[in-house]
Amino acid sequence: MGSLHVLAIPYAAQGHVIPLMELSQNLVMHGFKVTFVNTDFSQERIVKSFAGKDDVRDQIRLVSIPDGLEAWEDRNDLGKACEGILRVMPKKLEELIQEINRTDDHEIACVIADGHMGWALEVAEKLGIKRAAFWPSAAAMMVLTFRMQNLIDDGIVDDDGKPPRHHF
């Protein structure tokens, strides 16, 4: 059967790439084959960060897909970044997975996607591939994210996430 092939896709922002890369390195140490998907924009920086670390590049295949923004567009504009990502990346990821599965000795067995890249899990489901969400920050942040509506409903924070004045 050989090694299982995992495709990992982080959200392209500080604090998201490195934790998923560390997980990918651990998977490789346990016999998995890993393809790590970056955006075209971040690929060059990530490849440069591994300069002189041939063991990482030999073990983890680094590939990239477009993020839907032009090179000059501001990726710190969250609305614009999300719009571009959702418009372009799902189709490009699906095409990449299909290409890998056609040409590689090992088909993708599982997609591990950053929790902020839920669309990638939908692509995996559509293609009949097992999937897992990866949360790169503290578990407490995940709980807050998933329970924000409860905090608003209970009056602990307002719609902007701020505590009401009478709580000060």
User: Does residue 1 have a pLDDT over 60?
Assistant: no
Do 19 and 91 share a domain, yes or no?
yes
User: Does residue 54 have a pLDDT over 70?
Assistant: no
Do 96 and 57 share a domain, yes or no?
yes
Burial of 44 (0-12, 13-18, 19+ CB in 10 A): exposed
Do 67 and 109 share a domain, yes or no?
yes
How far apart are the C-alpha atoms of 121 and 103, rounded to whole Å?
A: 22
**The CATH number of the domain where 67 resides is what?**
3.40.50.2000
User: Does residue 52 have a pLDDT over 70?
Assistant: no
Hey, what are 49's tokens?
Answer: 């960060």
Q: 3-class SS at 115?
A: coil
How far apart are the C-alpha atoms of 33 and 58, rounded to whole Å?
A: 10
**φ, ψ dihedrals at 53, nearest 5°:** -115, 65
Could you give the number of structural domains in the chain?
Answer: 2
**Greater pLDDT, 130 or 49:** 130
Q: What is the pLDDT of residue 41?
A: 72
Domain extent for 26: 5-137
Query: pLDDT by residue (tens digit) across 93-146?
Result: 999 999 999 999 999 999 999 998 999 999 999 999 999 999 988 778 777 777
Do 105 and 146 share a domain, yes or no?
no
Do 166 and 115 share a domain, yes or no?
no
How far apart are the C-alpha atoms of 168 and 164, rounded to whole Å?
A: 8
Do 12 and 87 share a domain, yes or no?
yes
Q: What is the largest CA-CA distance in the chain?
A: 63
Hey, what are 146's tokens?
Answer: 């998933």
Do 24 and 103 share a domain, yes or no?
yes
Q: What is the pLDDT of residue 160?
A: 80
Do 72 and 123 share a domain, yes or no?
yes
Q: Which helix (H) or strand (E) holds 38?
A: strand 33-39
Q: What is the pLDDT of residue 107?
A: 95
